[in-house]
Chain A
Amino acid sequence: MSEALYQSIVLDRSRHPHHAGRPAVFDVEGKSENRMCGDMVSVFLSGADVRHEADGCAILVASAELMCEAATGKTDGEIAILSDRFEHLVKTGQENPELGDLNALAGIAQYPSRLRCATLPWSALRDAIAKGGSAGDTANG
């Protein structure tokens, strides 16, 4: 229970990320960093592909991973809704069936000082979208 946040999906994704690495070619790079702790994350959008480069703790990397998976192919509008729901999830700990695997991070609500670790990739994604990128290959906004 006490280590619930570090359940297998979070550990597994942080150690074996599927969406990590800077692509050779991409449309837009979004960035976000937490100066307090030195964590940094970049999100790359190219076509419908969403990838990340995360330098930080297991929560940050796992959150970036799950976000990339959830955001791929989504329109900007859908991502905005997803982002709001995710924020609600990590602040309240209330799981939401719409969020799928992202629910693995619900436990962060018990660790207020770690909230930024989970939300940092989403800031980077919003930054990328603000710079004109899109995760949906057909619709842009």
Chain B
Amino acid sequence: MSITLPALDVHGFRQDFPILSQKVHGKPFVFLDSGASAQKPKQVIEAMRFVMEEQYANVHRGLHYMSEKASDAYENVRDKVAELLNAASREEIVFTRNATESINLVAYSWGRTVLKPGDAVAVSEMEHHANLVPWQMLRDAHGTELRIIKITDSGELNWNSLEDVFADGKVKLLALTHMSNVLGSYTPVERLAKFAHEHGAKILLDGAQAIVHRAVDVQAIDADFYVFSGHKLYGPTGVGVLYAKAEILGAMPPFMGGGDMIASVSYEKSVWAKPPHRFEAGTPAIIETIGLGAAIDYVRAIGFDAIAAHEQYLTEHALATLSRIEGLRILGSAQDRGGVISFVMKDAHAHDIATLLDRQGIAVRAGHHCAEPLMGRLGVSSTARATFGLYTLPEEIDALATGLERVRKIFA
């Protein structure tokens, strides 16, 4: 099916994002860096203002009106996240600081108890550092092995390499991105979960990019762990999510000790609270979590079918438009790809591209995108990257193309 028109009233939605009406260096602000962090709609800003002005106290503690209101609002977001991911229960949702902390929690708590020295964790060549470094740390501290699954030149998982990595039966965890933050490739998560389970391994999915672009159903995928950050999903910074199956979470020891994560404490012994509170030591990001709830309401009201169709349209438009620029090379050509497009240009370094675009009001990211090993695999030291959100207009991609033509002429 080919989509010829944006499926969303994008101009209408843009009114919800106050920052988009800013000018940058005297030019309209063209924000193509949502993949790093998305802008916030006024519904999120308003929800956070409301809780601070009218409903704020610490949660789970005070036997008073304000604490109960704040606790209800905070816990209500757990239900929203459970619905967003189609989790079997709200107790499977743990609030963290971000996707990075969620992965570190799993590596530290589950990794050090369930995994034994000699067991292996497998990741791919296209992981963000957040899904690589925690497993290196686990390897060095605990004696597990870290294995790398190759990708193809088009930016898809190399299935032969996956089978090789699993061949000796030592891999007990497959930890993979659901969508590459560099190449935009989606991984076939249902098939991968089935493969991991057939080989006696669990699967962890880094959904930091994917959660923004398509509906995620952890039960349909049969994911054991799924993580994402609130700030890429139009919510505030400081709150992220770890989903894990109830039986897995129930057997995991705490990540951090402190208040809120205990059932009882004496000098001799403390008894841990049940999940999810076992993993939420200390006062959580109350205001930010409530902001995330508003962000989830916002995207669900629009609907992921419409969001996905819009971004598919933008991606196709961008691939077609950018590929017409002389000397520009787009990295990755996965069949299933979304609104994350990395590119390099002949004679122009990514940082020069980003600086020159910035002067035209266009924000893109340049660098290694926290994926240094992938840069090595692709044979580049850095790339420029344009990423799209639900507020991105096709005209903004045209502005990018015009800007890149100008860059090309400067360096020609």
Establish whether residues B351 and A56, one from each chain, have CB atoms under 8 Å apart when the complex forms: yes
Q: Name B382's contact: one of A5, A37, A59, A113 (CB within 8 Å).
A: A37
1/0 contact trace for A76-100 toward B, CB 8 Å?
0000000000000000000000000
1/0 contact trace for A52-82 toward B, CB 8 Å?
0001111100000000000000000000000
Establish whether residues A59 and B351, one from each chain, have CB atoms under 8 Å apart when the complex forms: yes
Q: Does B139 contact A (CB under 8 A)?
A: no
Query: Closest A-chain residue to B351, C-beta based?
Result: A57
**CB neighbors of B among A17-45 (8 A):** 36-39
Q: Does A125 contact B (CB under 8 A)?
A: no
- Residues of chain A lying within 8 A (CB to CB) of residue B368: 37-38
Establish whether residues A3 and B410, one from each chain, have CB atoms under 8 Å apart when the complex forms: yes
Establish whether residues A58 and B352, one from each chain, have CB atoms under 8 Å apart when the complex forms: yes
1/0 contact trace for A103-117 toward B, CB 8 Å?
000000001011001
Establish whether residues A38 and B355, one from each chain, have CB atoms under 8 Å apart when the complex forms: no
Distance in angstroms between the alpha carbons of A56 and B367 in the assembled complex: 11
Contact-size category for B: 20 to 34
Residue count of chain A within 8 Å CB distance of chain B: 19
Establish whether residues B355 and A114, one from each chain, have CB atoms under 8 Å apart when the complex forms: yes
- Residues of chain A lying within 8 A (CB to CB) of residue B356: 3, 6
Establish whether residues B360 and A2, one from each chain, have CB atoms under 8 Å apart when the complex forms: yes
In the assembled complex, the CB of B368 is this many whole angstroms from the nearest CB of chain A, namely 6
Establish whether residues A114 and B359, one from each chain, have CB atoms under 8 Å apart when the complex forms: no
Establish whether residues B382 and A38, one from each chain, have CB atoms under 8 Å apart when the complex forms: yes
Q: Does A11 contact B (CB under 8 A)?
A: yes
In the assembled complex, the CB of B377 is this many whole angstroms from the nearest CB of chain A, namely 14
Establish whether residues A37 and B367, one from each chain, have CB atoms under 8 Å apart when the complex forms: yes
Establish whether residues B411 and A114, one from each chain, have CB atoms under 8 Å apart when the complex forms: no
Q: Does A15 contact B (CB under 8 A)?
A: yes
- Residues of chain B lying within 8 A (CB to CB) of residue A15: 347, 411
Q: Does B55 contact A (CB under 8 A)?
A: no
1/0 contact trace for B337-381 toward A, CB 8 Å?
000000000011111100110111000001110001001000001
- Residues of chain B lying within 8 A (CB to CB) of residue A11: 410-411
Q: Does B317 contact A (CB under 8 A)?
A: no
Distance in angstroms between the alpha carbons of A119 and B348 in the assembled complex: 20
- Residues of chain B lying within 8 A (CB to CB) of residue A59: 351-352
Distance in angstroms between the alpha carbons of A113 and B355 in the assembled complex: 9
Q: Does B23 contact A (CB under 8 A)?
A: no
- Residues of chain A lying within 8 A (CB to CB) of residue B60: none
Establish whether residues B381 and A55, one from each chain, have CB atoms under 8 Å apart when the complex forms: yes
Query: Closest A-chain residue to B406, C-beta based?
Result: A3
In the assembled complex, the CB of A111 is this many whole angstroms from the nearest CB of chain B, namely 6
Q: Does B116 contact A (CB under 8 A)?
A: no
Establish whether residues B372 and A38, one from each chain, have CB atoms under 8 Å apart when the complex forms: yes
Q: Which of B359, B372, B375, B411 neighbours the largest number of chain A CB atoms within 10 Å of its CB?
A: B359
In the assembled complex, the CB of A51 is this many whole angstroms from the nearest CB of chain B, namely 21
Distance in angstroms between the alpha carbons of A38 and B380 in the assembled complex: 10
Q: Does B25 contact A (CB under 8 A)?
A: yes
Distance in angstroms between the alpha carbons of A114 and B359 in the assembled complex: 13
- Residues of chain A lying within 8 A (CB to CB) of residue B381: 38-39, 55-56
**A2-B25, A11-B410, A38-B375 are known contacts. Are A57 and B349 too (CB-CB below 8 A)?**
yes
In the assembled complex, the CB of A2 is this many whole angstroms from the nearest CB of chain B, namely 4
Distance in angstroms between the alpha carbons of A36 and B367 in the assembled complex: 8
Distance in angstroms between the alpha carbons of A78 and B273 in the assembled complex: 66
**A57-B351, A59-B352, A114-B351 are known contacts. Are A2 and B367 too (CB-CB below 8 A)?**
no
Establish whether residues A3 and B349, one from each chain, have CB atoms under 8 Å apart when the complex forms: no
Distance in angstroms between the alpha carbons of A5 and B356 in the assembled complex: 9
Query: Closest A-chain residue to B347, C-beta based?
Result: A15
- Residues of chain B lying within 8 A (CB to CB) of residue A113: 355
Establish whether residues B367 and A38, one from each chain, have CB atoms under 8 Å apart when the complex forms: yes
Query: Closest B-chain residue to A117, C-beta based?
Result: B351
Instruction: Write the residues of chain B forming the contact surface with A, with a CB cutoff of 8 angstroms.
Output: 25, 347-352, 355-356, 358-360, 366-368, 372, 375, 381-382, 410-411
Instruction: Write the residues of chain A forming the contact surface with B, with a CB cutoff of 8 angstroms.
Output: 2-3, 5-6, 11, 15, 36-39, 55-59, 111, 113-114, 117
27 of the cross-chain contacts (CB-CB < 8 Å) are A2-B25, A2-B359, A2-B360, A3-B356, A6-B352, A11-B410, A15-B347, A15-B411, A36-B367, A37-B351, A37-B366, A37-B367, A38-B367, A38-B372, A38-B375, A39-B351, A39-B381, A56-B351, A57-B349, A57-B350, A58-B348, A58-B349, A58-B411, A111-B358, A114-B351, A114-B355, A117-B351
Which 8 A-B residue pairs are closest in the complex by CB-CB distance? A57-B349, A2-B359, A57-B351, A38-B381, A58-B352, A57-B352, A37-B367, A38-B382
Contacts A37-B367, A56-B381, A58-B348 supplied; 17 other A-B pairs, CB < 8 Å: A2-B25, A2-B360, A3-B410, A5-B355, A11-B410, A15-B411, A37-B351, A37-B382, A38-B375, A38-B381, A38-B382, A39-B351, A57-B349, A58-B352, A58-B411, A114-B355, A117-B351
